[in-house]
Structure 1
Amino acid sequence: MQIIGLCRFSYPAEGGFQVEHPTLEARIAYLYSPERMEERLRHFECICLPGLKAQTDADFTFLVLVGEAMPLPYLDRLRELLAEFPQARIVSRPPGPHRQVCQQVINAARDMSQPCLEFRHDDDDAVAVTFIAELRAAALDISALRARHRLVALDWNRGYVARPDAQGIRAEPCVTPFWGVAQAVAVAPGVRQSIMNFGHNKLIRFMPTLSFTDSPMYLRGHSDHNDSRQKAHVKPVDLPLLDPSGEAEIKRLFGVDADHVRRVFAPAS
Protein backbone atom coordinates (compact mmCIF):
# COMPACT_ATOMS: atom_id res chain seq x y z
CA MET A 1 0.00 0.00 0.00
CA GLN A 2 1.40 3.39 -1.00
CA ILE A 3 2.23 5.80 1.84
CA ILE A 4 2.84 9.49 1.15
CA GLY A 5 3.80 12.22 3.61
CA LEU A 6 3.66 15.95 2.85
CA CYS A 7 5.73 18.63 4.57
CA ARG A 8 5.15 22.28 3.69
CA PHE A 9 8.54 23.91 4.17
CA SER A 10 7.86 27.65 4.28
CA TYR A 11 5.60 27.40 1.25
CA PRO A 12 3.88 30.78 0.64
CA ALA A 13 0.35 29.51 0.19
CA GLU A 14 -2.78 31.56 -0.21
CA GLY A 15 -4.46 30.68 3.08
CA GLY A 16 -3.27 27.87 5.32
CA PHE A 17 -1.79 30.10 8.01
CA GLN A 18 -3.40 30.98 11.31
CA VAL A 19 -1.78 34.40 11.12
CA GLU A 20 -2.65 36.27 7.95
CA HIS A 21 -0.53 38.81 6.05
CA PRO A 22 -1.85 41.83 4.13
CA THR A 23 -0.18 40.83 0.86
CA LEU A 24 1.53 37.83 -0.67
CA GLU A 25 4.75 39.83 -0.74
CA ALA A 26 4.49 40.41 3.01
CA ARG A 27 3.97 36.68 3.58
CA ILE A 28 7.01 35.79 1.47
CA ALA A 29 9.14 38.36 3.31
CA TYR A 30 8.05 36.90 6.65
CA LEU A 31 8.60 33.27 5.62
CA TYR A 32 12.08 33.86 4.19
CA SER A 33 13.40 36.23 6.83
CA PRO A 34 16.90 35.02 7.85
CA GLU A 35 16.10 34.53 11.55
CA ARG A 36 13.03 32.43 10.80
CA MET A 37 14.69 30.34 8.09
CA GLU A 38 17.67 29.56 10.30
CA GLU A 39 15.34 28.29 13.01
CA ARG A 40 13.25 26.23 10.58
CA LEU A 41 16.35 24.57 9.13
CA ARG A 42 17.71 23.75 12.60
CA HIS A 43 14.43 22.15 13.65
CA PHE A 44 14.12 20.30 10.36
CA GLU A 45 17.62 18.85 10.76
CA CYS A 46 17.48 17.97 14.46
CA ILE A 47 13.82 17.12 15.11
CA CYS A 48 11.97 16.31 11.90
CA LEU A 49 14.41 14.26 9.83
CA PRO A 50 16.06 11.77 12.24
CA GLY A 51 12.94 9.72 12.92
CA LEU A 52 11.83 9.74 9.30
CA LYS A 53 15.23 8.60 8.11
CA ALA A 54 15.24 5.78 10.70
CA GLN A 55 11.79 4.34 9.95
CA THR A 56 11.65 0.59 10.47
CA ASP A 57 9.43 0.44 7.37
CA ALA A 58 11.23 2.45 4.69
CA ASP A 59 8.57 2.01 1.98
CA PHE A 60 7.09 5.52 1.82
CA THR A 61 7.43 8.81 -0.04
CA PHE A 62 8.06 12.12 1.71
CA LEU A 63 7.22 15.24 -0.30
CA VAL A 64 8.73 18.56 0.79
CA LEU A 65 6.71 21.41 -0.71
CA VAL A 66 8.62 24.67 -1.20
CA GLY A 67 7.90 27.93 -2.97
CA GLU A 68 9.55 28.84 -6.24
CA ALA A 69 10.75 32.06 -4.61
CA MET A 70 12.74 30.33 -1.86
CA PRO A 71 16.20 31.93 -1.81
CA LEU A 72 18.78 29.61 -3.37
CA PRO A 73 21.08 29.40 -0.31
CA TYR A 74 18.20 27.98 1.77
CA LEU A 75 17.12 25.64 -1.01
CA ASP A 76 20.68 24.35 -1.31
CA ARG A 77 20.82 23.68 2.43
CA LEU A 78 17.50 21.88 2.25
CA ARG A 79 18.86 19.69 -0.55
CA GLU A 80 21.93 18.88 1.54
CA LEU A 81 19.78 17.82 4.50
CA LEU A 82 17.77 15.50 2.25
CA ALA A 83 20.71 14.09 0.30
CA GLU A 84 20.82 10.84 2.31
CA PHE A 85 17.03 10.45 2.56
CA PRO A 86 15.99 8.61 -0.62
CA GLN A 87 12.29 8.67 0.24
CA ALA A 88 12.30 12.49 0.19
CA ARG A 89 11.50 14.61 -2.84
CA ILE A 90 11.47 18.42 -3.03
CA VAL A 91 8.50 19.78 -4.96
CA SER A 92 8.55 23.46 -5.97
CA ARG A 93 5.34 25.35 -6.71
CA PRO A 94 4.34 29.00 -7.22
CA PRO A 95 1.99 30.52 -4.63
CA GLY A 96 -1.52 29.18 -4.88
CA PRO A 97 -4.59 28.18 -2.82
CA HIS A 98 -3.29 26.15 0.10
CA ARG A 99 -5.55 23.10 0.05
CA GLN A 100 -5.71 22.92 -3.75
CA VAL A 101 -1.93 23.02 -4.22
CA CYS A 102 -1.29 20.45 -1.48
CA GLN A 103 -3.92 18.12 -2.95
CA GLN A 104 -2.36 18.41 -6.41
CA VAL A 105 1.15 17.71 -5.09
CA ILE A 106 0.03 14.58 -3.24
CA ASN A 107 -2.09 13.26 -6.12
CA ALA A 108 0.75 13.80 -8.60
CA ALA A 109 2.81 11.32 -6.55
CA ARG A 110 -0.01 8.78 -6.22
CA ASP A 111 -0.95 5.71 -8.15
CA MET A 112 -4.63 6.67 -8.29
CA SER A 113 -5.67 3.09 -9.03
CA GLN A 114 -4.47 1.97 -5.60
CA PRO A 115 -5.40 2.85 -2.00
CA CYS A 116 -3.10 5.36 -0.34
CA LEU A 117 -2.19 6.31 3.21
CA GLU A 118 -1.41 10.03 3.50
CA PHE A 119 0.11 11.93 6.40
CA ARG A 120 0.93 15.58 6.95
CA HIS A 121 4.07 16.59 8.77
CA ASP A 122 5.38 19.94 10.01
CA ASP A 123 9.07 20.74 9.67
CA ASP A 124 9.60 20.97 13.45
CA ASP A 125 7.74 17.79 14.47
CA ALA A 126 8.92 14.18 14.75
CA VAL A 127 7.24 10.81 14.52
CA ALA A 128 8.38 7.60 16.17
CA VAL A 129 10.68 5.41 14.11
CA THR A 130 7.86 2.83 14.01
CA PHE A 131 5.23 5.24 12.65
CA ILE A 132 5.13 3.97 9.05
CA ALA A 133 5.06 0.34 10.20
CA GLU A 134 2.28 1.05 12.72
CA LEU A 135 0.31 3.03 10.14
CA ARG A 136 0.52 0.25 7.56
CA ALA A 137 -0.46 -2.42 10.11
CA ALA A 138 -3.42 -0.37 11.37
CA ALA A 139 -4.66 0.20 7.81
CA LEU A 140 -4.56 -3.52 7.11
CA ASP A 141 -6.43 -4.18 10.36
CA ILE A 142 -9.31 -1.98 9.18
CA SER A 143 -9.51 -3.28 5.62
CA ALA A 144 -13.24 -3.92 5.91
CA LEU A 145 -13.88 -0.38 7.18
CA ARG A 146 -11.77 1.11 4.38
CA ALA A 147 -13.71 -0.91 1.82
CA ARG A 148 -16.92 0.83 2.92
CA HIS A 149 -15.63 4.41 3.13
CA ARG A 150 -13.79 6.72 0.76
CA LEU A 151 -11.76 8.22 3.60
CA VAL A 152 -10.81 6.94 7.06
CA ALA A 153 -8.66 8.88 9.54
CA LEU A 154 -6.11 7.34 11.92
CA ASP A 155 -4.76 9.41 14.79
CA TRP A 156 -2.04 8.58 17.31
CA ASN A 157 -2.64 10.95 20.21
CA ARG A 158 0.10 10.14 22.73
CA GLY A 159 3.48 11.80 22.50
CA TYR A 160 5.55 14.73 23.72
CA VAL A 161 5.63 18.47 23.27
CA ALA A 162 9.28 19.47 22.93
CA ARG A 163 11.56 22.45 22.46
CA PRO A 164 15.23 22.07 21.45
CA ASP A 165 17.82 24.59 22.57
CA ALA A 166 21.53 24.93 23.31
CA GLN A 167 21.11 22.94 26.55
CA GLY A 168 19.39 19.97 24.93
CA ILE A 169 15.71 19.03 24.73
CA ARG A 170 12.95 20.42 26.88
CA ALA A 171 9.92 18.15 26.76
CA GLU A 172 7.00 16.66 28.62
CA PRO A 173 4.52 13.90 27.74
CA CYS A 174 1.01 14.70 26.59
CA VAL A 175 -2.11 13.17 25.10
CA THR A 176 -3.69 15.49 22.54
CA PRO A 177 -6.06 14.14 19.90
CA PHE A 178 -6.07 15.36 16.31
CA TRP A 179 -3.02 17.56 16.71
CA GLY A 180 -1.93 16.99 13.13
CA VAL A 181 1.21 14.96 13.81
CA ALA A 182 1.29 11.13 13.69
CA GLN A 183 -2.04 11.39 11.91
CA ALA A 184 -3.05 9.92 8.56
CA VAL A 185 -5.96 9.42 6.22
CA ALA A 186 -6.59 6.22 4.28
CA VAL A 187 -7.79 7.24 0.83
CA ALA A 188 -9.65 4.83 -1.45
CA PRO A 189 -8.57 4.27 -5.07
CA GLY A 190 -9.67 7.03 -7.43
CA VAL A 191 -10.53 9.50 -4.65
CA ARG A 192 -8.87 12.85 -5.33
CA GLN A 193 -9.51 14.42 -1.93
CA SER A 194 -6.44 14.27 0.28
CA ILE A 195 -5.57 14.66 3.95
CA MET A 196 -4.76 18.30 3.16
CA ASN A 197 -8.36 19.03 2.16
CA PHE A 198 -9.32 18.99 5.84
CA GLY A 199 -8.21 20.78 8.96
CA HIS A 200 -6.33 18.27 11.12
CA ASN A 201 -8.62 18.88 14.08
CA LYS A 202 -11.77 18.58 11.95
CA LEU A 203 -11.25 15.16 10.38
CA ILE A 204 -13.68 13.65 12.87
CA ARG A 205 -16.49 15.70 11.30
CA PHE A 206 -16.10 14.24 7.84
CA MET A 207 -15.06 10.59 8.06
CA PRO A 208 -14.76 7.59 10.39
CA THR A 209 -11.80 8.07 12.71
CA LEU A 210 -9.72 5.74 14.86
CA SER A 211 -7.55 6.84 17.78
CA PHE A 212 -4.52 5.02 19.20
CA THR A 213 -3.19 5.88 22.65
CA ASP A 214 -1.04 2.88 23.54
CA SER A 215 2.43 4.30 22.84
CA PRO A 216 4.12 7.67 22.19
CA MET A 217 4.10 8.33 18.46
CA TYR A 218 5.00 12.01 18.08
CA LEU A 219 7.25 14.79 19.24
CA ARG A 220 5.36 18.04 18.74
CA GLY A 221 7.87 20.82 18.15
CA HIS A 222 7.52 24.07 20.05
CA SER A 223 9.31 27.23 18.92
CA ASP A 224 8.85 30.98 18.76
CA HIS A 225 8.11 30.75 15.03
CA ASN A 226 5.27 28.22 15.24
CA ASP A 227 2.40 29.62 13.20
CA SER A 228 0.04 29.08 16.13
CA ARG A 229 2.31 31.15 18.40
CA GLN A 230 2.21 34.34 16.33
CA LYS A 231 -1.16 35.42 17.67
CA ALA A 232 -1.51 37.97 20.45
CA HIS A 233 -1.79 36.81 24.07
CA VAL A 234 -0.26 33.37 23.45
CA LYS A 235 1.32 32.27 26.73
CA PRO A 236 4.83 30.80 26.79
CA VAL A 237 5.13 27.10 27.55
CA ASP A 238 7.64 26.21 30.26
CA LEU A 239 9.05 22.77 29.45
CA PRO A 240 11.49 20.87 31.72
CA LEU A 241 14.97 20.04 30.46
CA LEU A 242 15.32 16.29 29.96
CA ASP A 243 17.86 14.40 32.05
CA PRO A 244 20.15 11.76 30.44
CA SER A 245 17.55 9.00 30.81
CA GLY A 246 14.90 11.18 29.20
CA GLU A 247 17.26 12.03 26.35
CA ALA A 248 17.94 8.33 25.81
CA GLU A 249 14.20 7.61 25.62
CA ILE A 250 13.63 10.36 23.07
CA LYS A 251 16.49 9.04 20.96
CA ARG A 252 15.12 5.48 21.17
CA LEU A 253 11.62 6.53 20.19
CA PHE A 254 12.27 9.28 17.65
CA GLY A 255 15.94 9.10 16.68
CA VAL A 256 16.43 12.64 18.02
CA ASP A 257 19.93 13.02 19.47
CA ALA A 258 20.25 15.59 22.27
CA ASP A 259 24.00 15.96 21.64
CA HIS A 260 23.28 16.83 18.04
CA VAL A 261 20.67 19.32 19.20
CA ARG A 262 23.17 21.00 21.52
CA ARG A 263 25.72 21.32 18.71
CA VAL A 264 23.28 22.74 16.17
CA PHE A 265 21.57 25.13 18.60
CA ALA A 266 24.78 26.34 20.26
CA PRO A 267 25.21 30.13 20.03
CA ALA A 268 27.40 31.25 17.16
CA SER A 269 30.91 32.01 18.32
Structure 2
Amino acid sequence: MQVIGLCRFSYPAEGGFQVEHSSLEERKAYLYAPERMEERLRVFELMCLPAFEAQTDPDFTLVVLIGDSLPPRYLSRLMELTARMPQVQIAARPPGPHRAVCQSVLNEARRDPSAPCLQFRHDDDDAVSVEFVEQLRAAASDCASLVEKHRLVGFDWNRGWLARLDAGGIRAEEVQHPYWGVAQAMAVAGGVKHSIMNFGHERINRFMPTVTFQDPPMFLRGHNGFNDSRQKKHVQPVELPYLDAGGEAEFAARFNIDADAVREAHR
Protein backbone atom coordinates (compact mmCIF):
# COMPACT_ATOMS: atom_id res chain seq x y z
CA MET A 1 0.00 0.00 0.00
CA GLN A 2 1.44 3.38 -1.01
CA VAL A 3 2.41 5.67 1.88
CA ILE A 4 2.19 9.41 1.19
CA GLY A 5 3.01 12.27 3.55
CA LEU A 6 2.26 15.96 3.12
CA CYS A 7 4.48 18.62 4.67
CA ARG A 8 3.50 22.25 4.17
CA PHE A 9 6.57 24.49 4.09
CA SER A 10 5.49 28.11 4.51
CA TYR A 11 2.71 27.68 1.96
CA PRO A 12 0.60 30.89 1.83
CA ALA A 13 -2.78 29.22 1.92
CA GLU A 14 -6.16 30.85 2.15
CA GLY A 15 -7.10 29.68 5.64
CA GLY A 16 -5.28 26.95 7.52
CA PHE A 17 -3.57 29.30 9.99
CA GLN A 18 -4.55 29.96 13.58
CA VAL A 19 -3.26 33.51 13.21
CA GLU A 20 -5.09 35.44 10.53
CA HIS A 21 -3.67 38.12 8.24
CA SER A 22 -5.55 40.97 6.63
CA SER A 23 -4.30 40.20 3.11
CA LEU A 24 -2.37 37.65 1.12
CA GLU A 25 0.57 40.02 0.85
CA GLU A 26 0.65 40.42 4.62
CA ARG A 27 0.65 36.64 5.01
CA LYS A 28 3.52 36.25 2.55
CA ALA A 29 5.48 38.99 4.31
CA TYR A 30 5.07 37.12 7.60
CA LEU A 31 5.90 33.70 6.17
CA TYR A 32 8.92 34.84 4.16
CA ALA A 33 10.45 37.16 6.75
CA PRO A 34 14.20 36.36 6.87
CA GLU A 35 14.32 35.64 10.61
CA ARG A 36 11.40 33.23 10.36
CA MET A 37 12.70 31.50 7.24
CA GLU A 38 16.14 30.99 8.76
CA GLU A 39 14.58 29.30 11.77
CA ARG A 40 12.24 27.13 9.69
CA LEU A 41 15.03 25.95 7.42
CA ARG A 42 17.30 25.20 10.37
CA VAL A 43 14.66 23.15 12.19
CA PHE A 44 13.63 21.43 8.94
CA GLU A 45 17.25 20.40 8.36
CA LEU A 46 18.13 19.39 11.93
CA MET A 47 14.88 17.90 13.26
CA CYS A 48 12.38 17.10 10.50
CA LEU A 49 14.46 15.60 7.69
CA PRO A 50 16.90 13.35 9.61
CA ALA A 51 14.18 10.93 10.72
CA PHE A 52 12.75 10.65 7.21
CA GLU A 53 16.23 9.98 5.84
CA ALA A 54 16.64 7.08 8.29
CA GLN A 55 13.22 5.40 8.01
CA THR A 56 13.44 1.66 8.53
CA ASP A 57 10.89 1.36 5.73
CA PRO A 58 12.08 3.76 3.00
CA ASP A 59 9.15 3.07 0.66
CA PHE A 60 7.16 6.29 1.05
CA THR A 61 6.59 9.64 -0.63
CA LEU A 62 6.91 12.95 1.20
CA VAL A 63 5.35 15.84 -0.71
CA VAL A 64 6.63 19.23 0.45
CA LEU A 65 4.05 21.88 -0.44
CA ILE A 66 5.43 25.37 -1.04
CA GLY A 67 4.07 28.55 -2.52
CA ASP A 68 5.06 29.41 -6.10
CA SER A 69 6.16 32.75 -4.64
CA LEU A 70 8.76 31.27 -2.26
CA PRO A 71 11.82 33.52 -2.72
CA PRO A 72 14.47 31.84 -4.91
CA ARG A 73 17.17 31.86 -2.22
CA TYR A 74 14.94 29.82 0.11
CA LEU A 75 13.75 27.52 -2.67
CA SER A 76 17.37 26.82 -3.57
CA ARG A 77 18.22 25.90 0.01
CA LEU A 78 15.15 23.71 0.30
CA MET A 79 16.11 21.86 -2.87
CA GLU A 80 19.65 21.37 -1.56
CA LEU A 81 18.40 19.98 1.77
CA THR A 82 16.12 17.44 0.09
CA ALA A 83 18.28 16.54 -2.92
CA ARG A 84 19.64 13.40 -1.27
CA MET A 85 16.15 12.09 -0.49
CA PRO A 86 14.47 10.39 -3.47
CA GLN A 87 11.23 10.14 -1.45
CA VAL A 88 10.77 13.93 -1.43
CA GLN A 89 8.70 15.71 -4.05
CA ILE A 90 8.50 19.52 -4.05
CA ALA A 91 5.06 20.78 -5.09
CA ALA A 92 4.85 24.51 -5.81
CA ARG A 93 1.33 25.93 -5.92
CA PRO A 94 -0.22 29.40 -6.08
CA PRO A 95 -2.21 30.51 -3.04
CA GLY A 96 -5.56 28.77 -2.75
CA PRO A 97 -8.05 27.34 -0.25
CA HIS A 98 -6.01 25.38 2.26
CA ARG A 99 -7.90 22.10 2.37
CA ALA A 100 -8.66 21.99 -1.35
CA VAL A 101 -5.04 22.57 -2.34
CA CYS A 102 -3.71 19.99 0.12
CA GLN A 103 -6.29 17.44 -1.06
CA SER A 104 -5.34 18.05 -4.68
CA VAL A 105 -1.61 17.67 -3.98
CA LEU A 106 -2.10 14.42 -2.07
CA ASN A 107 -4.35 12.94 -4.74
CA GLU A 108 -1.86 13.86 -7.47
CA ALA A 109 0.81 11.94 -5.55
CA ARG A 110 -1.22 8.71 -5.61
CA ARG A 111 0.27 6.32 -8.15
CA ASP A 112 -3.06 4.55 -8.54
CA PRO A 113 -6.09 6.50 -7.27
CA SER A 114 -8.22 3.37 -7.57
CA ALA A 115 -6.02 1.58 -5.02
CA PRO A 116 -6.05 2.18 -1.25
CA CYS A 117 -3.25 4.22 0.29
CA LEU A 118 -1.95 5.43 3.63
CA GLN A 119 -1.55 9.17 4.17
CA PHE A 120 0.07 11.18 6.95
CA ARG A 121 0.33 14.86 7.73
CA HIS A 122 3.51 16.50 8.96
CA ASP A 123 4.70 19.98 9.95
CA ASP A 124 8.15 21.17 8.93
CA ASP A 125 9.24 21.73 12.54
CA ASP A 126 8.17 18.32 13.88
CA ALA A 127 9.73 14.88 13.67
CA VAL A 128 8.57 11.27 13.69
CA SER A 129 10.43 8.17 14.80
CA VAL A 130 12.64 6.43 12.25
CA GLU A 131 10.21 3.49 12.41
CA PHE A 132 7.08 5.54 11.72
CA VAL A 133 6.44 4.26 8.19
CA GLU A 134 7.11 0.68 9.27
CA GLN A 135 4.76 1.04 12.25
CA LEU A 136 2.08 2.65 10.08
CA ARG A 137 2.12 -0.24 7.62
CA ALA A 138 1.98 -2.73 10.51
CA ALA A 139 -0.98 -0.89 12.06
CA ALA A 140 -2.89 -0.97 8.77
CA SER A 141 -2.14 -4.68 8.43
CA ASP A 142 -3.21 -5.43 12.01
CA CYS A 143 -6.45 -3.51 11.40
CA ALA A 144 -7.05 -4.97 7.93
CA SER A 145 -10.69 -5.92 8.54
CA LEU A 146 -11.46 -2.43 9.87
CA VAL A 147 -9.72 -0.81 6.91
CA GLU A 148 -11.61 -3.00 4.45
CA LYS A 149 -14.99 -2.03 5.94
CA HIS A 150 -14.51 1.76 6.01
CA ARG A 151 -13.67 4.40 3.44
CA LEU A 152 -11.40 6.15 5.95
CA VAL A 153 -9.66 4.94 9.11
CA GLY A 154 -7.47 7.12 11.31
CA PHE A 155 -4.29 6.11 13.12
CA ASP A 156 -2.74 8.16 15.89
CA TRP A 157 0.36 7.74 18.04
CA ASN A 158 -0.13 9.88 21.13
CA ARG A 159 3.21 9.76 22.96
CA GLY A 160 6.43 11.61 22.28
CA TRP A 161 8.28 14.75 23.27
CA LEU A 162 7.85 18.50 23.09
CA ALA A 163 11.22 19.72 21.85
CA ARG A 164 13.21 22.85 21.04
CA LEU A 165 16.66 23.17 19.51
CA ASP A 166 19.15 25.88 20.48
CA ALA A 167 22.85 26.54 20.99
CA GLY A 168 22.86 24.41 24.12
CA GLY A 169 21.54 21.34 22.34
CA ILE A 170 18.10 19.75 22.60
CA ARG A 171 15.51 20.81 25.16
CA ALA A 172 12.68 18.30 25.56
CA GLU A 173 10.14 16.75 27.85
CA GLU A 174 7.87 13.76 27.37
CA VAL A 175 4.21 14.39 26.56
CA GLN A 176 1.12 12.35 25.80
CA HIS A 177 -1.42 14.13 23.63
CA PRO A 178 -4.01 12.48 21.36
CA TYR A 179 -4.73 13.75 17.85
CA TRP A 180 -1.98 16.36 17.94
CA GLY A 181 -1.41 16.21 14.19
CA VAL A 182 2.05 14.66 14.35
CA ALA A 183 2.50 10.89 13.93
CA GLN A 184 -1.09 10.90 12.70
CA ALA A 185 -2.18 9.02 9.60
CA MET A 186 -5.20 7.75 7.70
CA ALA A 187 -6.04 4.76 5.54
CA VAL A 188 -7.90 5.90 2.42
CA ALA A 189 -9.88 3.44 0.33
CA GLY A 190 -9.40 3.22 -3.41
CA GLY A 191 -11.41 5.78 -5.35
CA VAL A 192 -11.91 8.03 -2.30
CA LYS A 193 -10.77 11.60 -2.97
CA HIS A 194 -10.89 12.85 0.59
CA SER A 195 -7.45 13.25 2.14
CA ILE A 196 -6.10 13.48 5.66
CA MET A 197 -5.92 17.25 5.20
CA ASN A 198 -9.70 17.48 4.80
CA PHE A 199 -10.09 16.96 8.54
CA GLY A 200 -8.93 18.96 11.55
CA HIS A 201 -6.36 16.79 13.29
CA GLU A 202 -8.01 17.12 16.72
CA ARG A 203 -11.46 16.22 15.35
CA ILE A 204 -10.61 13.35 13.03
CA ASN A 205 -12.35 10.83 15.32
CA ARG A 206 -15.69 12.57 14.67
CA PHE A 207 -15.66 11.46 11.05
CA MET A 208 -14.17 7.98 11.00
CA PRO A 209 -13.10 5.12 13.25
CA THR A 210 -9.64 5.73 14.68
CA VAL A 211 -7.04 3.54 16.35
CA THR A 212 -4.71 5.06 18.95
CA PHE A 213 -1.32 3.76 20.05
CA GLN A 214 0.63 4.87 23.10
CA ASP A 215 3.73 2.79 22.30
CA PRO A 216 6.28 3.22 20.99
CA PRO A 217 6.85 6.96 21.52
CA MET A 218 6.58 8.24 17.98
CA PHE A 219 6.98 12.01 17.67
CA LEU A 220 8.72 15.25 18.46
CA ARG A 221 6.47 18.29 18.51
CA GLY A 222 8.62 21.31 17.69
CA HIS A 223 8.39 24.24 20.07
CA ASN A 224 9.89 27.42 18.68
CA GLY A 225 9.34 31.12 18.24
CA PHE A 226 7.36 30.81 15.03
CA ASN A 227 4.89 28.03 15.84
CA ASP A 228 1.57 29.08 14.35
CA SER A 229 -0.16 28.03 17.55
CA ARG A 230 2.11 30.27 19.63
CA GLN A 231 1.54 33.57 17.82
CA LYS A 232 -1.63 34.46 19.71
CA LYS A 233 -1.63 36.79 22.69
CA HIS A 234 -1.32 35.44 26.23
CA VAL A 235 0.45 32.22 25.15
CA GLN A 236 2.79 31.33 27.98
CA PRO A 237 6.37 30.17 27.32
CA VAL A 238 7.18 26.56 28.13
CA GLU A 239 10.45 25.85 29.90
CA LEU A 240 12.04 22.68 28.59
CA PRO A 241 15.06 20.99 30.22
CA TYR A 242 18.13 20.03 28.23
CA LEU A 243 18.59 16.36 27.47
CA ASP A 244 21.45 14.65 29.22
CA ALA A 245 23.86 12.35 27.37
CA GLY A 246 21.45 9.42 27.68
CA GLY A 247 18.59 11.49 26.28
CA GLU A 248 20.70 12.68 23.39
CA ALA A 249 21.64 9.07 22.60
CA GLU A 250 17.97 8.08 22.63
CA PHE A 251 17.08 10.94 20.26
CA ALA A 252 19.91 9.91 17.94
CA ALA A 253 18.57 6.35 17.84
CA ARG A 254 14.87 7.17 17.69
CA PHE A 255 14.89 10.32 15.51
CA ASN A 256 18.37 10.36 13.91
CA ILE A 257 18.98 13.80 15.46
CA ASP A 258 22.60 14.75 16.17
CA ALA A 259 22.82 16.98 19.26
CA ASP A 260 26.35 18.10 18.37
CA ALA A 261 25.16 19.18 14.92
CA VAL A 262 22.35 21.10 16.61
CA ARG A 263 24.79 22.98 18.85
CA GLU A 264 27.13 23.71 15.96
CA ALA A 265 24.34 25.04 13.73
CA HIS A 266 23.17 27.46 16.42
CA ARG A 267 26.58 28.92 17.18
Please give the range of the TM-score, normalised by the shorter of the 2 chains.
over 0.9
What displacement does 1:252 show? Answer: 0.7
Runs of 4+ more than 6 Å apart: none
- The CA RMSD over aligned residues, in Å, is 0.5
- Aligned residues with identical type, % of pairs: 65
Correspondences of 1:92-171 after superposition (within 5 Å):
92-110=92-110, 111-171=112-172
Q: Please list the CA deviations of residues 62-96 of structure 1 after superposition, one character each: whole Å capped at 9, or x if unmatched.
A: 00000000000000000000011110010000000
User: What's the counterpart of residue 2 of structure 1?
Assistant: 2
Q: Secondary structure at the match of 2:101?
A: helix
Q: Secondary structure at the match of 1:40?
A: helix
Residues 1:82 and 2:92 are matched in the alignment = no
What displacement does 1:215 show? Answer: 1.4
Q: Please list the CA deviations of residues 234-257 of structure 1 after superposition, one character each: whole Å capped at 9, or x if unmatched.
A: 000000011111100111111011
Mapped to 2, the partners of 1:80 and 1:256 lie a distance apart of 19
Code of the aligned partner of 1:256: I
What displacement does 1:200 show? Answer: 0.4
Mapped to 1, the partners of 2:215 and 2:185 lie a distance apart of 17
Residues 1:204 and 2:225 are matched in the alignment = no
What displacement does 1:265 show? Answer: 1.5
TM-score (norm 2): 0.99
Mapped to 2, the partners of 1:135 and 1:265 lie a distance apart of 33
User: What's the counterpart of residue 71 of structure 1?
Assistant: 71
What displacement does 1:101 show? Answer: 0.1
Residues 1:265 and 2:263 are matched in the alignment = no
User: What's the counterpart of residue 178 of structure 2?
Assistant: 177
What displacement does 1:145 show? Answer: 0.5
What displacement does 1:49 show? Answer: 0.3
What displacement does 1:263 show? Answer: 1.2
Q: Please list the CA deviations of residues 164-211 of structure 1 after superposition, one character each: whole Å capped at 9, or x if unmatched.
A: 000100001111000000010100000000000000001011000000
95-104 vs 136-145, greater mean Cα deviation: 136-145
Code of the aligned partner of 1:137: A
Q: Secondary structure at the match of 1:69?
A: coil
Q: Secondary structure at the match of 1:96?
A: coil
Mapped to 1, the partners of 2:266 and 2:41 lie a distance apart of 11
Code of the aligned partner of 1:55: Q
Code of the aligned partner of 2:237: P
Residues 1:194 and 2:163 are matched in the alignment = no
User: What's the counterpart of residue 49 of structure 1?
Assistant: 49
Mapped to 2, the partners of 1:264 and 1:149 lie a distance apart of 46
Q: Secondary structure at the match of 1:263?
A: helix
Correspondences of 1:238-257 after superposition (within 5 Å):
238-257=239-258
Mapped to 1, the partners of 2:173 and 2:249 lie a distance apart of 14
What displacement does 1:214 show? Answer: 1.6
What displacement does 1:113 show? Answer: 1.3
Mapped to 1, the partners of 2:34 and 2:133 lie a distance apart of 33
User: What's the counterpart of residue 219 of structure 2?
Assistant: 218
User: What's the counterpart of residue 27 of structure 2?
Assistant: 27
Unaligned segments of structure 1, at least 5 residues: none
Q: Secondary structure at the match of 2:202?
A: coil
User: What's the counterpart of residue 11 of structure 2?
Assistant: 11
Q: Secondary structure at the match of 1:124?
A: coil
Q: Please list the CA deviations of residues 12-71 of structure 1 after superposition, one character each: whole Å capped at 9, or x if unmatched.
A: 000000000000000000000000000000000000000011000000000000000000
What displacement does 1:264 show? Answer: 1.2
TM-score (norm 1): 0.98
Mapped to 1, the partners of 2:211 and 2:54 lie a distance apart of 25
